[in-house]
Chains A and B, each alone.
Chain A
Amino acid sequence: MEAATAAPILRAKDYKSDIAPIWCPGCGHFAVLSAVTKAIAHLKLSKEQLGIISGIGCSSRLPAYIDSYGFHGVHGRALALAAGLKTARPDLTVIAAGGDGDGFSIGGNHFLHACRRNMDLTYIVMDNEVYGMTKGQASPTTQPDWTHSKLTPHGTGVRRFQPPAIALAAGATFIARGFAGDPNGLTKLLVEAIEHRGFSFLHVLSPCQTFRPEQKEWKQTVHPCRLEPTSDPARAAELIQNDDGMAIGQLYAQHLPAWQLESRTTTTLEEMEAEFRV
């Protein structure tokens, strides 16, 4: 191909839209947005072949900030919408994104089935252990003794949802944890997640400065994953079970064929209609 007609090389900033994020200063999601644009620039994905799908919540605002096709849907249904788009348009790269409440509470069932289906989707959950957009309620990943919400003044008293463990049990074939405070590591994990053929789940610790200011400490408490990533689900289960929730890196990757419905045009509707003729 002539050089003149080759697609221009896009840099990360070329993937940013002209819409300014609504996020609070210091929000972890800025770093996630930045890492997403870096990862897609690195992978040289064309903007028009990219679909970024989200639900509702602070982090679900992500699609509008990226210059590609996007869908900001309803609360909890990002994975369903993404699965429909990918099924109808397998040629597209489809990334779903959202928060812990969106993905693990209202959208919990879709999370299980998306893991199980192993379609070629990437799912980024920006986990800040709080519902930010409704001003600070406990989410499924909030500590049971967190008493800062008027909705649960004594804490929820309920054990936390374990995203990587549940993803593994449900059948996800790529599981990793990233940290918004480690942008380079996060970009690398995003590249691996997008390149992975099958359902890849990227759990991102993304601090909320407004409702969970104590999460500033995450900078000190995160640590690299102590073990090498594994493709053995039993070893991954052990690793994830013994994990303090702050281990950063790839936790599990298994190479199974990505699931996709196949079809082939073998007849015409007119021919098909013959079945009804008496």
Chain B
Amino acid sequence: MATDINIGQADGLSIAITGSGGSGAVTTGLILLAAIARAGYYGLMTRSAGPQIRGGESAAMVRFSQRPVDCMGDCFDLLVGLDWRNINRFIDEIPLGTDSLVLFDPAGDSIAPEISATGACIGEIPFKEIAGGITGGRLNMAALGATGAAAGLPIDALEAGALATLSSKGEEVAEAAIACIRAGFAAAPTRSPVTVAAGERWNLSGNEASGLGALRGGVRFVAAYPITPATEMLEWLAPRLEQLGGVLLQAEDELASVNMIIGGSFGGVPSLTATSGPGLSLMMEGLGLAVSSETPVVVANVMRGGPSTGIPTKSEQSDLNIAIYGLHGDAPHLVLAAMDIRDCVFTFQWAVRLAEHLQSVAIVLTDQALGQSRAIVDPPARFVDYLPRVISGPQDDSYRRYALIENGVSPMAIPGQAGCMYTADGLEHNERGTPSSMSADHLAQLDKRHRKLLNFDYGEHWAEIQGDGPTCLVTWGSCAGPVREAAERLNAVGNPIRVVALRLIAPLQKESLAKALDGAKRIVVIEQNQGAQLFHYLHAEQALPAHAQSLARPGPLALRPGEILNAITSED
């Protein structure tokens, strides 16, 4: 049996656990991630599932390292097969090499030819027999013990991870799981376990992080319609909003949810909805109303493969165009993107404050790969400025809700305030809000809504910039993880790379971007969609030199650091 796998190297260790739906692959991954945290590592767990609730395919991919992990590696070091049913459906998401180790139970299905063909080393462990010897024992927990041993994780971290993850299942379940983990651990090839000293770490998913950021930003009203892969954000928010004096209203459809949050925000409560591509399409008319009436709202769009129903359970960055251009009319608004799970907290908090302060729509893009993945991270950063909603004081009889003041942010009255009643309107209006089709009013109000966003000083948070090499990689969203890792590998071999990951996409911070790109000999815009949407947007804004290149390909397969590295170096 091959026993020595390359763990503990700088880029960490990658593990895939696969099984048919209901085999417990995801639970196994969750416990593994919890154990990784307790051993002092950073980690990331992504999942892959088909659309079926039961009986489909299911896989948990876990990577851990002594450095923060924001993407999967190029190749998996360890593949653990709970069973091989439907493995053909996602074998292309689990690249293996000749250094990889595959652990499986020969009593089950024979090993899939797709796996044998990779040349990976095969290790046979009788998971079923081990679990069968324990009352209430489950195969996946025996496999988890073996996985932990092969990965060099200490047994006490695995046990603590299991207890924390299974706490709601009752004592008997937890005890059986721990007995299985111990037996599986003893049966597997073991490396000397390593525990790393670590500071405070958080274990959270991207959807939870987005929800937390929204709450930190002050959101206390959410209306939404369930949609994959955004639903978990709503499920996380519903009970927590209630405990904070807020509410979540389940709407009859997305047309309702966007209008409900416009109503809530008009009432003075910071409001948000969460959705994915099809829902965002339905919300566009409502968002135009929010722009015209200058009612602040935040929309979380957790992207999935599109168009139409597309691939609901898998990731793609293909909603950038609709987020930027989807509203009819000249409708300036904010578009932001979170670049990793930890950053979802900061980006959402900032987005809520920007929307509130600028009386604007903020569409915040994340994706399935962020939303439904969990990570072990340092405590998330906090946006420390408080950008208030600008509220009108009592006025005389001629309150001008849409007054043409210099910065464009005219003070907003909130129902309950006497002396400044107004009717908000999606019709073009004059300063008082009275409908008007006069050219002068249209021009003045268009300009007001435009300049309030353009002239605001967004400070340093518009992007995260690393390195200063002559090659500059421009990216956004979940691609930032693999792009940064590719850059780090090139930096390590003396090929300095600069990375600009955009957080505020619209309005584009052209001057800041120009500074960030200054001196770059080569620029590559990297994103996960077929249409090179960011690349074309930056060109349309005249923010890129003619020689800039695009590296864009659609989902659902995640971009991997090696793929990016190869693409950059092969075109040098």
Q: A residues near B, CB below 8 A?
A: 17, 19, 46-53, 63-64, 67-74, 76-77, 80-89, 91-92, 109-110, 112-113, 261-269, 272-273, 276-278
Report the Cα distance A13→B141, complex, angstroms.
75
**Cβ-defined partner of A71 (8 Å) among B203, B212, B266:** B266
B243 & A272 in contact (Cβ 8 Å cutoff): yes
A71 & B216 in contact (Cβ 8 Å cutoff): no
A276 & B256 in contact (Cβ 8 Å cutoff): no
Report the Cα distance A129→B262, complex, angstroms.
29
**Cβ-defined partner of A263 (8 Å) among B247, B252, B256, B413:** B247
Report the Cα distance A154→B572, complex, angstroms.
69
B-chain residues with CB within 8 Å of residue A267 when the two chains form the complex: 243-244
**Cβ-defined partner of A19 (8 Å) among B37, B204, B241, B434:** B434
List 18 other contacts, CB 8 Å, given A64-B433, A265-B245, A278-B34: A19-B434, A47-B421, A48-B418, A49-B415, A69-B413, A73-B259, A73-B262, A81-B263, A84-B249, A85-B267, A87-B247, A92-B267, A92-B416, A110-B256, A261-B247, A262-B242, A262-B247, A278-B376
B-chain residues with CB within 8 Å of residue A49 when the two chains form the complex: 415-416
Given A72-B426, A74-B285, A87-B221, decide whether A278 and B37 contact each other with a Cβ distance below 8 A: yes
B-chain residues with CB within 8 Å of residue A87 when the two chains form the complex: 221, 223, 247, 249, 260, 263-264
In whole Å, how far is A22's beta carbon from the nearest beta carbon of chain B?
Answer: 8
In whole Å, how far is A123's beta carbon from the nearest beta carbon of chain B?
Answer: 14
Residues 153-169 of B contacting A (Cβ, < 8 Å)? none
A69 & B249 in contact (Cβ 8 Å cutoff): no
Residues 263-292 of B contacting A (Cβ, < 8 Å)? 263-269, 271, 285-286, 288-289
B-chain residues with CB within 8 Å of residue A68 when the two chains form the complex: 421
Binary per-residue interface labels of chain B (238-259) against chain A in the complex, 1 for a CB within 8 Å, 0 otherwise: 0011111111110111011101
In whole Å, how far is B570's beta carbon from the nearest beta carbon of chain A?
Answer: 40
A69 & B415 in contact (Cβ 8 Å cutoff): yes
Q: B residues near A, CB below 8 A?
A: 34, 37-38, 200-204, 208, 212, 215-216, 220-221, 223, 240-249, 251-253, 255-257, 259-269, 271, 285-286, 288-289, 293, 376, 413, 415-419, 421-427, 433-435
A74 & B259 in contact (Cβ 8 Å cutoff): yes
Report the Cα distance A167→B426, complex, angstroms.
28
Return the 8 tightest CB-CB contacts between A and B, nearest first.
Answer: A84-B263, A84-B260, A70-B423, A88-B264, A85-B263, A80-B259, A89-B267, A80-B256
Report the Cα distance A196→B419, complex, angstroms.
28
In whole Å, how far is B268's beta carbon from the nearest beta carbon of chain A?
Answer: 7
Report the Cα distance A49→B418, complex, angstroms.
9
Report the Cα distance A165→B425, complex, angstroms.
32
B-chain residues with CB within 8 Å of residue A269 when the two chains form the complex: 215-216, 244
B244 & A88 in contact (Cβ 8 Å cutoff): no
B-chain residues with CB within 8 Å of residue A64 when the two chains form the complex: 423, 425, 433-435
Report the Cα distance A278→B34, complex, angstroms.
8
A77 & B255 in contact (Cβ 8 Å cutoff): yes
Report the Cα distance A73→B202, complex, angstroms.
42
Interface centre among B200, B289, B376 (most CB of A within 10 A): B289
Report the Cα distance A254→B251, complex, angstroms.
24
A109 & B252 in contact (Cβ 8 Å cutoff): yes
Given A63-B423, A81-B260, A85-B267, decide whether A71 and B243 contact each other with a Cβ distance below 8 A: no
| 16 A-B pairs with C-beta separation under 8 A | A19-B434, A72-B423, A74-B289, A77-B286, A87-B221, A87-B223, A88-B247, A88-B264, A88-B265, A262-B247, A263-B245, A263-B247, A265-B245, A266-B243, A267-B243, A278-B38
Report the Cα distance A63→B434, complex, angstroms.
11
In whole Å, how far is A6's beta carbon from the nearest beta carbon of chain B?
Answer: 14
B-chain residues with CB within 8 Å of residue A17 when the two chains form the complex: 423
Report the Cα distance A48→B267, complex, angstroms.
11
B223 & A84 in contact (Cβ 8 Å cutoff): yes
B263 & A265 in contact (Cβ 8 Å cutoff): no
Report the Cα distance A71→B286, complex, angstroms.
13
Report the Cα distance A112→B424, complex, angstroms.
25
In whole Å, how far is B526's beta carbon from the nearest beta carbon of chain A?
Answer: 30
